[in-house]
Amino acid sequence: MPKLADSIDRRTLFDLNIFAQLQLVWDGFTPIPAMVVFGCVTALLLLVLGRTVALAGFSRRALSLLVVRAAAIIVLGFIAILPQLAWESDRMPRVAILIDSSKSMSLRDVNDGTRTRHAAAIDFMKGVSNHPRLAGSRFFVFADAVREVSLSELEFDNAKFDIGTRSRIAGAIQNVKENSGSEQPDLVIVLSDGIETDSESETSELAKPLDETPIAGVLFGSDKDPPNLSIEKITSPRTVLSGVDFEVLVEWSAVQMANVDFEIAVFADSNEKPITSKVVTIRSDNAKGNTSLEIPHLAEETQDFEIRVKSIGKPEFLMSNNQRSFRVSRFSEPLKVLLTGEFPSWEFRRLKGLLKNVSGIELTIYLASADQEYAASDASVVESLPDNLQPFDVVVLTSGPTAFFQHGLSKVVASGTGVVEMDTSKELLTSNRSTLEITPIGRQILNLRPRDYLNVEIQSSSKDEANLETGELVLFRTTGRSSSPVLTVRQTGESIVLSQYPDRSWRLLAAADRSLYERYWHALIEFAAQSHDLERPIININHRLDQTTGESVFGIEDRRIARTPSNLLLNIVDPAGKKSQVELATELSNSQSRMSTRVGPLPGGHYSAWVGSRQGLPGASAVFSERIKFRVAPTSTELTRLAADRSSLAAMADASGGRFFTDSDSEAFHSFIDSLEIEKQRESIGHSITAYSLLLAAFVAFLLIERRVRLS
């Protein structure tokens, strides 16, 4: 079935090329009956007036006749053109177009790839404004706010834009007459995919006719194929460390969806309450994307999980393949860590002690060292590794990557193995500059380009080379020969704090009461074991909507290695771009890593939020979470569901003597417009008959006056 807007466009092109041109010519002349009568009366009176002046001279009676006949010419001429005035009035109807304030129907952001319904509404209004039967009409456009309408998109001829802040169509209808002048509009067209109603009383107000003005209610999006959302792939670890949180990556695809929110939730052991969830917004049609969710550590040796996806606020959206299951187990054996390379013996003993103290780690050592206690030849490091040690979960390289890659890294590194590199060409903590080199976690190590890894430099600015309290740690991303700073860590006497880089959100904080060396090695092993990306933020934030109270619930988790108390602020930016801050009531510390806070209820719209620390605290700099974007769906007090909207729109149209349409009722809409125009033509004929009756009565009256003057 053809779309309404498409049909209007085709009809307009056809009619404007032929009939509309004739209509414009016709409108330039007076109607034939009025023109003939006016011409005959004028000619007759001019002849009589001329004969009177020529034959009667300038007697008193002649002057009286002259005045009477001049008045007759003026009055009868005015009455003669009344049909023309009535014709022109009816040929230029006043049309009010009302745009509801539903987000999916608004004309905002028309160039962001979300034009599915926006374009349909714009095309419809353009088509109506150029409709042959409404050509030359005066149009009044009502919308919710100035930003909701792109004036460049609405190329109306002779259109008046009245853009107010009314949030409901009911209010706009009540003010159509007030804002369009003293005259009543001839037609009201409501473009909607949902009318905002606050109560049943307001719905009844919508159904009241506007002084019997017909209302054409057009519902868009009613016949579109239901959108489709599916889970394409789930990536999760098969085994995890005891007591360690882990992540699952969900890849999804969506068809025919734009500016739609859906929730991805993880359920454990068939429980009805999700253990974690995240809200994702689809930004364009045919979208594909992925999102990660962090799952708390396993409560049992093996757990089954289920991921479910559902849309928010759009129950009519269909989901296919929206439930997927996976299983995760704990390591049945200790985590296998290989320490290999070249290392000073005194520092190796310290490192070995640190790694041994990490729970769940089984340390395997193969070193080439000057110390005979751990002596092994350089050439035999890789070759001497027995096969039964494969695969390792974490590999610590302490002699640089080049030789080890060339001598068969594949023998000890399995797919997904976390690799920590440490260049000890200079003794760590005893030189002005030492380097930790960390490969990106979660990537195929064997597919890495040479020297494609993260480079961590410890730069000491203290005169005492063994003291790093005033030093800084700089994180670089190194690819080939290029190296750019990603993150800078400065250490004060109390703690190691981090500088914020706008393009990175990864954070790592260590306390000074334990050595920098020890804390960072624990962190590196932890990251490698969990296959975490080093660019993950240390403060995580998520949002969900409490369906019962309507409040926005923000979940906040602090992943810093050592959490020093800090006053954290929740920053929220509303749809209008206004920023507000909420100081979190509870400070995160070593004993608490998770918290939640409630805000709102927030008005419907698109928001962004992030967590940051208050500036100016002694010994600390700003730490930030990632910026999340979320949408708050209109509540029941803001926007009724589609079924209620449809009935309200239909009731309003029917009560006004108008019609209800969907965007597929093309022919019915044209028939409705044509029927309104036929009625107006009949009204024009009625006005003409009235004017001609007045003209005849006035003519007879003037004849009687003239006869009385002659007889006097």
pLDDT tens digits along 204-225 = 444 444 555 666 666 654 434 3
Strand blocks (E) in 384-538: 392-397, 413-423, 433-438, 453-459, 472-479, 482-491, 496-498
What integer pLDDT is reported at residue 176 of this predicted model?
Answer: 53
Band of residue 185 on the pLDDT scale cut at 50, 70, 90: low
Token pair of 59 as six digits:
């007697």
CA geometry: angle at 517 spanning 516 and 523, to 5°? 90
What is the percent of the chain with per-residue pLDDT over 70, rounded to a whole number? Answer: 16
How does pLDDT run across 322-364, given as a tens digit for each residue? 667 777 776 555 555 566 555 555 455 555 555 554 445 555 5
Band of residue 305 on the pLDDT scale cut at 50, 70, 90: confident
Is 50 exposed, middle or buried (CB count within 10 Å of its CB: 0-12, 13-18, 19+)? exposed
What integer pLDDT is reported at residue 193 of this predicted model?
Answer: 52
Residue 187 has pLDDT above 50, yes or no: yes
Residue type for 267, please?
F
- Beta-sheet pairing, 288-295 with 246-255: antiparallel
Residue 265 has pLDDT above 80, yes or no: yes
How does pLDDT run across 420-444, given as a tens digit for each residue? 444 333 333 222 333 333 333 222 2
What integer pLDDT is reported at residue 76 of this predicted model?
Answer: 66
Residue 75 has pLDDT above 50, yes or no: yes
What is the percent of the chain with per-residue pLDDT over 90, rounded to a whole number? Answer: 0
Mean pLDDT calculated for residue range 262-284: 76
Using CA atoms, how far apart are residues 631 and 615, in angstroms rounded to an integer?
28
Three-state SS at 410 = helix
User: Is it true that domain 537-633 has CATH number 2.60.40.10?
Assistant: yes
CATH placement of domain 94-221+655-664 = 3.40.50
Band of residue 277 on the pLDDT scale cut at 50, 70, 90: confident
What integer pLDDT is reported at residue 106 of this predicted model?
Answer: 41
Q: So where are the chain's domains?
A: 1-91+665-712, 94-221+655-664, 231-332, 335-530, 537-633
CB neighbour burial string for 328-365, b if at least 16 within 10 angstroms, e if fewer: bebbeeebbbbbbbbbbeebbebbbebbeebeebbbeb
Is 648 exposed, middle or buried (CB count within 10 Å of its CB: 0-12, 13-18, 19+)? buried
- Give me the CATH topology for the region 231-332: Immunoglobulin-like (2.60.40)
Written in H, E and C, the secondary structure of 626-683 is CCEEEEECCCCCCCCCHHHHHHHHHHHHHHCCCEEEECCCHHHHHHHHHHHHHHHHHH
What integer pLDDT is reported at residue 613 of this predicted model?
Answer: 63
537-633 has the same fold as 231-332 = yes
How does pLDDT run across 514-566, given as a tens digit for each residue? 344 344 444 444 433 333 233 344 567 777 777 677 778 888 776 554 444 45
Provide the mean pLDDT of the chain.
54
Range of lowest pLDDT (31-35, 84-88, 165-169, 283-287): 165-169
Smallest CA-to-CA distance from 219 within 253, 249, 194, 248 is with: 194
Please report, for residues 104, 163, 228, 637, 647, the alpha-carbon distance to residue 193 in angstroms, rounded to integers and kept in the order given: 8, 19, 19, 16, 12
Please report, for residues 107, 127, 305, 660, 662, the alpha-carbon distance to residue 220 in angstroms, rounded to integers and kept in the order given: 13, 15, 40, 11, 6
- Beta-sheet pairing, 472-479 with 482-491: antiparallel
Token pair of 112 as six digits:
């962001």
